[in-house]
A and B are shown apart, each in its own frame.
Chain A
Amino acid sequence: MSSDGTTLRHNALVYDSADEYLARAVPFLKAGIEAGEGAVVAHTKPGLAMMREALGPEAARVTFVDVSAAYTRPARTLAAFHEVYVEQLRKTPTLRAVADVQFGPDPDEWDLWTGYEAAFNRSFGHLPAWVLCSYDANGTPDPIIEGVWKTHPEVVAGDSWNSSDRYEDPDQLLRRITPAPPPLTGLRPVPFGSGAEEFRERLARELAADKISEARSLDLLLAATEIANNAMQHGGGIQEVRVGRARGRFVCEIVDRGDGFDDPAAGYLAPREGIGAGLWVARQLTWSTEFFHSPTGFTTRIWL
């Protein structure tokens, strides 16, 4: 947390062994517990078992989160952690968390998760939380560790807390790693209709024609409603809607009449006073949601 304990402090712990992990993480959590803060540990099942044992009786005051299936898409992972933190902050005014991050094996997706870490700074920037992201240095490729230094203002490595001189502004990093959305051909126009309800009815027919499952259809109907409402309230109304299949996924593009916005963290910001939650909801329910300027207008492309 910041020095006054009111906003996010997002640090990383790069450890070489389980002993080092425990030697750093356990005192960190215990100090918080002693001060009346909440405590959260997010790790794989063996990591949680190890931490429970090391914490001893204090484990009863810690919320344990199994991350085995948590890292699927950045927006969903942020939402999952947000739910845990919200629950904890209902019980304690502040919290400390140690969260193990699960990168995958494919170098082509490492940027996505480095982007997740960058977005975390803005997503939870308002929370009175001190989050220590843990990385096992053994077997973790250098580009991922390099990303750790770019996305955490402070990194614990060896015996000390180090200010990262490689820390990059989250927006700048997100812009750098986010590829420009390629144009999609083959999408078909769908008239928007007279309002959100008629739009959903038409979209539902397209989803049924594409044999999208019931649960996923509802996800898209909700996500598209949020985007459409946003376009009507802030984007000057709906210019065009297109749907179809691309790369095996159902895609819905909503083009509005406004100037659009340029915020690489749009939809990653956890709900809070003064910020609409529509884009946050849309991202959680979809594989990916992109915002960009196209020849027809400011476009939101939803990938189911």
Chain B
Amino acid sequence: MIAAGCGDSDACRKLVEAFLPAIGDLARSFKNSRVERLELLQEGVAGLLVAARRYDTTLNTPFWAYAAFWVRKAMQELVAELTRPVALSDRAVRELAQTRRARSEHLQMHGVEPTTDELSRATGLTPAQVERLQATERTPRSTQEQLTDRDEGTDTIGDTIVDLTAEYAYQQVLDAIEIRDVHNLTEQLDERERIVIRAHYGLGQDAQTLSAIGAGLGLTAERARQIEAGALSKLRAALSQSAPVGEAAT
């Protein structure tokens, strides 16, 4: 858990794998929220990783009891964001109506959903405008519809396929972990600086002397030392920028 909180990718993955079923259980409580399960799981994972970064092992609270708060909060915020009523300007309402008409005509003519580019061409709006308008009328997912209209307590269509959906969603969430932002200072260095720092201090490999590193790069040991010093200064500068207080703003 501590390693995951420190941004260790493997530890993050193991942590998520261990708690994904519990995250899935929490996601179920949002099943009537009109938000896709995959999106809920992804936000839940983000909440879990925030909890891991915050969690102090000296607290008396067990990790999941602590993390569940952040997981639920992340899901609640996603639901609030995606299902909130949106106030549209008169112009946006007209453009939305135009987009709906174009979609309807395309469906009648071709029998398939139009792409954003096709809607853009049909309406004269930019693709970005079309996407924004479509986002404002997010419709309930068919998988969230009640199986019968008479019984409010009945399962949804989505519930009947939940195992397959969940398994697929879990895999997608696990795959997505790789692209989550993980703090790594070496990304701020250029290739040669990274080679020198990693080799000198044995980061992910055996440590080498500056002479050996320099020889490998066709440089002197002193030049390798200069590159290292420059790299450390660069990282320090990135972490200690000061505000231009009192200077004229540009």
Find out whether the CB atom of B241 lies under 8 angstroms from the CB atom of A215. Answer: no
- How many Cβ-Cβ contacts under 8 Å join chain A to chain B? 149
Query: Which residues on A sit within 8 Å (CB–CB) of B186?
Result: 214-215, 218
Q: Give the interface SS of chain B, mostly helix, strand, loop or mixed.
A: loop
Interface residues of A in 69-118 (CB under 8 A from B): 69, 71-73, 79, 82-83, 85-86, 89-93, 104-106, 108-109
Q: In A38-69, which residues have CB < 8 Å from any B CB?
A: 44-46, 49-50, 53, 68-69
Interface membership of B100, Cβ < 8 A: no
CA distance A92 to B241 in the complex (A): 17
| Residues of chain B contacted by A176 (CB below 8 angstroms) | none
Bound-state CA distance A104–B69 (Å) is 8
Give the CA-CA distance A86 to B239 in the complex, in Å.
Answer: 12
Q: In the bound complex, do residue A72 and residue B53 qualify as a contact, i.e. CB atoms below 8 Å apart?
A: yes
Kindly list chain A residues whose C-beta atoms are within 8 Å of the C-beta of B182. Answer: 215
When the two chains form their complex, are residues A45 and B78 in contact, meaning their CB atoms are under 8 A apart?
yes
Q: Does B244 contact A (CB under 8 A)?
A: yes
CB under 8 Å from chain B, chain A span 193-214: 197, 200-201, 204-205, 208, 213-214
**Bound CA–CA A218/B98 (angstroms):** 55
Within the complex, which residue of B50, B87, B201, B241 is in contact with A204, where a contact is CB–CB below 8 Å? B201
Contacts of B250 in A (CB 8 A): 90-91
Shortest CB distance B180–A (Å)? 10
Task: State the interface size on chain B (CB cutoff 8 A).
Answer: 57
Q: Which residues of A contact B (CB under 8 A)?
A: 6, 44-46, 49-50, 53, 68-69, 71-73, 79, 82-83, 85-86, 89-93, 104-106, 108-109, 126-128, 197, 200-201, 204-205, 208, 213-219, 221-222, 225-226, 247-249, 270-273, 277, 280-281, 284-285, 287, 304
Q: A49-B81, A201-B201 are in contact. List 13 more A-B contacts (CB 8 A).
A: A46-B77, A68-B74, A82-B243, A93-B249, A104-B66, A108-B61, A204-B203, A213-B8, A215-B182, A222-B239, A247-B58, A277-B236, A287-B5
> Which residues of B pack against A, CB within 8 Å?
1-3, 5-8, 46, 49-50, 53-54, 56-61, 66, 69-70, 74, 77-78, 80-81, 84, 86-87, 182-186, 197-198, 200-204, 207, 225, 232, 235-236, 239-246, 248-250
